[in-house]
Each structure stands twice: as structure tokens, then as C-alpha cells.
Amino acid sequence: MSSISAPNTSLGIGQSWLDMSGQRAANTTYQNTSYRPIEVSIVSANAYPDRYIQVSADGVSWINLKAGAGASERIEHQFTVPPGHYYRTSADMTIAGWAELR
């Protein structure tokens, strides 16, 4: 009897950081369509307290992960997105950088 091994779905194994800055925009919903978790790193140029990173399991109900810290402070947001889940930034966030471990 032959043995079939499942692919390694651990975060970081066989994945690479990709610069997604030219392919991502604020207030646009993205979905992790891969079969494994991804890590997202966003640098915002305007981190006012009312600007958020949001995640959702269904693309309808959103959870605010993190708000900005100060009046014009740059801040990095880093979070893990499970397979099939959605992610976005608030509408008025100015993106200074966006990378994903895929």
C-alpha cells in the first residue's frame, strides 16, 4: 500500500514575501484563495485612530483588528489571514507599503 502525504500547510513553509504595493488599494476587499494561511504586512502613512485593518470570514461581517495610534504617525499592521477569509483597510487609509507572505 502506498503512502500519500498531504502538502505542508504551515505558515511560512514554502512561502515567500511578495511586494503587493502596486496590486493593493485601501477599501478594497481581498480574499485569501490559497489553501493555507498568509501573512499580510501593511504600512500606513496616516495612522489616525479611525483608520482600521479589517478581516472577515464571510465578506459581510467585519472585525476591526487595529486602529492607528496617532495624528500622522506611520504604523505597520501585520496579521494572518486564514484560507478563504477576507481582508481590507478602511477607506481613507494611505498605503505606504503592502507585502504578503504567500
d(CA 13, CA 46): 33
Give DSSP secondary structure letters for 21-90.
GGG--TT--EE--SSS-EEEEEEES---TT-EEEEESSSSS-EEEEE--SSS--EEEEEEE-TT-EEEE-
pLDDT of residue 69: 59
Cell of 100: 504578503
pLDDT of residue 49: 63
Pick 69 or 8 by higher pLDDT: 8
Neighbouring C-beta atoms of residue 81, cutoff 10 Å = 19
Record the pTM: 0.84
pLDDT(1) > 60: no
- Segment 36-91, tens digit of pLDDT: 999 999 988 775 667 788 999 999 999 998 665 555 667 788 999 999 999 999 87
